[in-house]
Chain A
């Protein structure tokens, strides 16, 4: 099963929204996935335990370390766009894992 985490500044607003949206898109794509959410600070420390991190585009560079260790970092411009989320999941090959 794929393990992903959604992160945002406080861990209570946009990360929850990302979690809801990506859960919906993964389900649509038929991917078995566990989605957690947390603040960027906490997620940075846990990122290596996950296959992928979903964040607002603003936060991508803060996960450079995790990216170097093989975690897929997905930056989203429009958190409400299921189309963007689906495209980026496919681009990262997360629908094939």
Chain B
């Protein structure tokens, strides 16, 4: 799963961010650059997090930025981002910090469900996820795949 995303250029690696909003926007940028989503999709995600809180951090260290916004999505896909410094979503709850980001974009339910299943399977190995969290460069990430 991650290998395909890297091959497609649907990933980015960063040292860190001043705030979660910049991190979320950066996580979507490769999809914007590729035309897979419109720039407004990043706004939708930011607004969703502002409205609902940091529930997109689904597990320690893992965030899944996404929004229900089919008109701004051209391709049903995932996009990976690694922040080497944890991104803080809630200063009072560091269990909501994340270094691994998997953007979800969907305009096709069936394909989206397959993507989610693939992602869940990918993330089910805790030891692997821990190693991925520590990997700081593309080479280090590739070495794990």
Contacts and interface: CB of A to CB of B under 8 A. Distances in A.
A58 interface: yes
Given A9-B55, A14-B55, A58-B52, A78 B60 contact: yes
B140 interface: no
A21 B67 CA distance: 21
Interface string B37-66: 000000000001001111110111010101
A15 to B, nearest CB: 10
A75 to B, nearest CB: 11
B116 interface: yes
The 8 closest A-B pairs by CB, nearest first: A9-B52, A10-B68, A56-B55, A79-B58, A58-B55, A80-B59, A78-B59, A13-B66
B130 interface: no
Contact of B56 (A13, A20, A40, A81): A13
Contacts, number: 58
B55 A8 contact: yes
B83 interface: no
Interface in A63-82: 77-81
Interface stretch (B2-10, B11-19, B20-28, B117-125): B117-125
Contact of B67 (A10, A20, A40, A59): A10
A39 B51 CA distance: 13
Given A10-B66, A10-B68, A21-B120, A81 B48 contact: no
Contacts of B117: 20
A31 interface: no
A20 B53 contact: no
Contacts of A9: 48, 51-52, 55-56
